Amino acid sequence: MNELLFAFGLTLFAGLATGAGAFLSLVTRRTDAKFLAVSLGFSAGVMIYVSMIEIFVKAQVALVAELGERSGAWATAGGFFGGIALIAVIDRLVPARANPHEYPHDDAGRQRRLMRMGTMTAVAIAIHNFPEGFATFVVAMQEPSVAIPVVVAIALHNIPEGISVAVPIYHATGNRRRAFRWAFLSGLAEPVGGVLGYLVLRPFLDDVVFGVVFAGVAGIMVFISLDKLLPTAQEYGEHHLSVYGLVAGMAVMAVSLLLFV
């Protein structure tokens, strides 16, 4: 029982770190377009770097180990572009007035695009956090000494992820509680994934399934970054501000990964 509580506590801590990022959105001014541009660029940098350097690589390692070098590489690429295709199809099926690409470029249209972008980012992060929570929970159960630095690294990742959810929703609605709630809920997918994965899914899942899921999530996050975060960041601020934010987000993720190599 103590091991279960320890594993759940660590997984919950990692997930709730998303709320720390969301808190940053509560102290920003609603009219600060430059901050919004930098924050969205930063969020895109975080998601792209984490997807390509961490999630995609983990997926490929798992799939190559199970399927062999050639088949594993193909499966990883298939999962990655499958995730992109999935989110692209969903985007195309959305009615024009709800689609952030098709809505008019007036104030109401911008607010609708920001709100949709924030909620879709929350969903993508929740999908990512679910299997990540399961992995964290299992590590904590089997190797408690190894789990602590892993959880700290994941928590560092989740802080800017909270920004990527809360900032656009806050600037779309002006509602701090709503922005925090979306980010908070996306982070809760971490402990939920840990508990459900351990109690229900573990007997049925293998490395192949996890590898394909991780590759697909990487594709989804990259698509959202390139199709929504960066274009909106450039619309609300100078081009260079969004690029500086992009590089800063990548740098923060690189440092957080290197600290726990």
The reply to whether 102 sits in an annotated binding site is: no
Distance between start and end Cα atoms, the chain: 30
DSSP state of 202: T
Distances (CA, A) of 178 to 90, 124, 175, 221, 238: 24, 18, 5, 22, 28
* Distance, CA of 45 to CA of 233 (rounded, Å): 12
The residue type of 159 is I
* Distance, CA of 234 to CA of 206 (rounded, Å): 41
The reply to whether 99 sits in an annotated binding site is: no
CB 38 within 8 A of CB 55: no
CB 124 within 8 A of CB 190: no
The reply to whether 129 sits in an annotated binding site is: yes
Distances (CA, A) of 117 to 29, 215, 251: 19, 21, 23
The reply to whether 2 sits in an annotated binding site is: no
Q: Which residue positions form the known binding site?
A: 129, 132, 157-158, 161, 190
Q: Which residue positions form the known binding site for Fe(2+)?
A: 129, 132, 158, 161, 190
Q: Which residue positions form the known binding site for Zn(2+)?
A: 132, 157, 161
